Every structure is written in C-alpha cells, then in structure tokens.
Structure 1
Amino acid sequence: MTDEVESDYVGIFDGDLGFGKKPALILIDFVEAYFDKDCALYAGVEHILTNAIALRDAARDAGILIIYTNVAYAPSLIDGGRFTQKVAPLANFVAGHPMGAWPEGLEPEENELVISKQYPSAFFGTSLASTLTANGNDSLIMTGLTTSGCVRATCVDCCSHGFIPIVAEQSVGDRHEDPHRANLFDMQAKYADVVPDKDIMKYLATL
C-alpha cells in the first residue's frame, strides 16, 4: 500500500472475521471458457484451477459441503438480461456449449452440489443462501473466477446474507493482475477475510 492508501484504511478497514464453525466450499465458474485460448473469455488462470482443485480435495477429506457454480443461458439469451447485453462473449455460456463444460480434474461428484446461475453473484436468483442455512453452514470458503467479477459479487452477497466470506487468496484469479489485486484488497478491507490457501488447508485439517 502507498502511504496515502494506508492512512485512509488502517484503523478503519482492518477488521477480521475469523473462520466459522461449519464452512462450505464454493468453486465459482471454473469452466472451459477461461482455459481455452481460442475463447474470448480466456484468462490465463490455469494455475488458479490447480490450486482450487487442491483445496477441493482437502474439503472432501474434511467432509464439508462442496458447491460448484456455472453459468447457463437459454439459446436466445433472454435470461441473461443486461449482463449478456453488456458482455457479448457470455454467449459462450448458452446451455450445452462446450465452453461451459468443466475442465479436466474438476468434475463434481454425485454428493456435491452444482448451481447454475445467470448473473455474477452465486447468491442472486439461486438457492445458495437457503442451502447454506438449511445445512447449518455459517461460512463460505470461496475459490473461483474472476476475482473482480463473480468472486467479488458472491463475496459481497455472502456478507450481506450473514455468512462469513473467506476468500482463498491463491485460488481466485483474473485476466489481469491489477483488478485482481485491487479487488482482493477491497474485499479484505470491507467484506471478507482474504486468507492464504495454506492457512485454509490447516483449518480444514482440524475439522
């Protein structure tokens, strides 16, 4: 941080929430579009997927609820509203399009939940909040793509719904480092705890 930024934040936006007692893990929009170099949505985040799979495997060992999200639209994109009007490459997420498929190594197991969404937040217009409440989860460990988009939107809504947002620092990514770092900084300041993956691994091992 620059001295100016530090003076604006330190002592004001430096609180911590801590880990909850019963977390769930969410993997936000890890789909082929972000890993296929021929796709307009390619983001060069292959290493983020590798990190997230390691966290997913640790979450399986811990026996916690694991949730995956993808984006799926009707062929007409009528359910995409202003979002698909604003971002034309979202047409890659018409239901059944190969760019919406899971990348190798991420395939959900039968006892894991898949939520399809149409907008950035995994909470908006979905059953996610109800599922977490019914399952007794008090916190949500977040991995996914992209940091400045669907991860941030999910983080803000997670906080707004009363769950503890834990952002896995090395398991979220973006197509450019600047918005990635800026959004990590802002989520840590205002909504969530941004936690190194190694610390989340240690926490999961205690459950």
Structure 2
Amino acid sequence: MADIEDLDAILQQAFDESSRIYKERGFQRRIGFGKKPALVSVDLANAWTRPGNPFTCEGVDDRIIPSMQALLKACRENGHPVVHVTTAYQITDRDSPNTDMGLWHEKIPVEAVNLKDEHLWAIDSRIAPVEGEWVMMKKRASSFSGTPLAGYLRALGVDTILVTGVTATACVRTTICDGLAEGFRTIAVKEAIGDRVPGAVAWNLFDIDAKFADVETTATCVDYLETVNRRNEG
C-alpha cells in the first residue's frame, strides 16, 4: 500500500508541474459533449477482464465493470448506440509469414487471444452485448485503424464518443487519438478505463485530458446520456 501511495504522490507532483507547463502553452482546452453520443467499449473481453491471462488488467471488478453497467443502462434506456470492441488473431505463430497483425506479435503474447478460443475474446458476460449492439473485432491497437468504425458512427449521426475499456496505455489511448482525428468529440470515462501497470491509467488520463479528449467521471457521463435527448428536443 505504501508503494502505491508513494507512486500516487510522485505522479501528483508530476501532474502539478505538467499542468503548469500545459496551461502556459495553451493546452488542456475542453472539447465538450455533442448532441449525438455513442459508447465505444474497448477490449472488455475475458482475456482482459478475467484473472489468469497475460492481458488481465487491474481494477476491473471493483471499478470498470460497475461503471460500464451504469453507462450501458443509460445508453440502452435512452437509445444511444453501443459498440463493443474486441481483439483476436487467427495466426499466433510468430514464425508464420501470414500474420494478421502486422509485426505486433513481435512485442506482445498474441497466443493469449487466439481466435479459435471464443471465450478469450468474448465480451465479459457482466456487460454482455444485447440485441442491436455491434461487436466489432479489430486487429490493431486503435479501434479505428483498419476498421469500419468511423463510417458506422457517421451513418448513425454520432458526433460524440464516450470511450471506455483497456488499456489506457495502448488500445484506449489510440482509439481516443484516432477518434478525435476522425472528427468526433472524444470523452474518456475516468472510472471505466484500466491497465495492467501501476500508475499507467492516471498518467495517461492526465495526458489524454491535456491533448486528445475530455476526461469525465462516470456520473457526469451517465447524466449526459440521460439528458442529452431532452436537451436536443428543447
């Protein structure tokens, strides 16, 4: 516990100094919520949310799942689109020339998300998709890279994406960066984003908030999802 507290204290010092630099140079601006939201949930599949996998992340049971359940409830009751993103690979042999993941297999244990084992890449049953919610498989870190996600969202008239999932350092971060580049208002839902490495979530959310998205609490996002339709009607 002391080590985590020490890390938190060190990070807070870094955040305070970085905030000063960012503000002096015009960063940390706000993008705000738009009129038509969608929830984009990144890699909250069993390989990441359940114990015993190389990809298993921290804070899933006590923080991410409850946050996701609240967000899903608000989306479903108010007719907002939900996209569940997952990742799996057909070729997990590092020596095979027929890779379906570029050269990412040279860096990460791809065998842990083998396409043949559907349980690994199935969305966690606690936040399982319902009829009408799209489950999209990706091969790269970003949910936008090499996928039809941007076109799907535009066809629905979406202007705002609430991004959740894992990991803060990779798939969530790159999804947020590409989402902003594709012209969507990007919102990172604070309590619904996780990682495997201590300090990784805090640092990445701080930096994301400065440059690529607004980091907002689950409560703020749920309130937005529950009221945006009424505001649009008014």
> If the TM-score is normalised by the length of the shorter chain, which range does it land in?
over 0.9
Partner of 2:116: 96
Q: How far does residue 102 in structure 1 lie from its aligned partner after superposition?
A: 2.0
- The answer to whether structure 1 residue 136 and structure 2 residue 157 are counterparts is yes
1:39 to 37, 53, 74: 53
Map 1:66-85 onto structure 2 (within 5 A): 66-76=82-92, 78-85=99-106
Alignment identity in percent?
33
Partner of 1:61: 77
CA deviation profile, 1:159-193 (whole Å, cap 9, x unmatched): 11011101101111112331111110111000100
When the two structures are superposed, what TM-score results if normalisation uses the length of structure 1?
0.94
CA contact (8 A) 2:84 2:123 kept: no
CA distance in 1, matches of 2:149, 2:158: 11
CA distance in 1, matches of 2:127, 2:192: 13
CA contact (8 A) 2:57 2:166 kept: no
75 and 198 in structure 1: CA distance in 2 versus 1, 3 angstrom threshold:
same
When the two structures are superposed, what TM-score results if normalisation uses the length of structure 2?
0.83
CA distance in 1, matches of 2:45, 2:37: 23
Partner of 2:182: 161
CA distance in 2, matches of 1:75, 1:201: 39
Partner of 1:199: 220
Q: How far does residue 101 in structure 1 lie from its aligned partner after superposition?
A: 2.0
Consecutive unaligned residues in structure 1, runs of 5 or more: none
CA distance in 1, matches of 2:72, 2:226: 12
CA contact (8 A) 1:92 1:100 kept: no
Please tell me the residue identity of whatever aligns with 2:52: D
Q: How far does residue 79 in structure 1 lie from its aligned partner after superposition?
A: 0.3
CA RMSD of aligned residues (A): 1.5
CA deviation profile, 1:83-123 (whole Å, cap 9, x unmatched): 122102x2222213222122222221121111100011000
Consecutive unaligned residues in structure 2, runs of 5 or more: 1-11, 94-98, 230-234
1:21 to 18, 25, 35: 35
Please tell me the residue identity of whatever aligns with 2:76: R
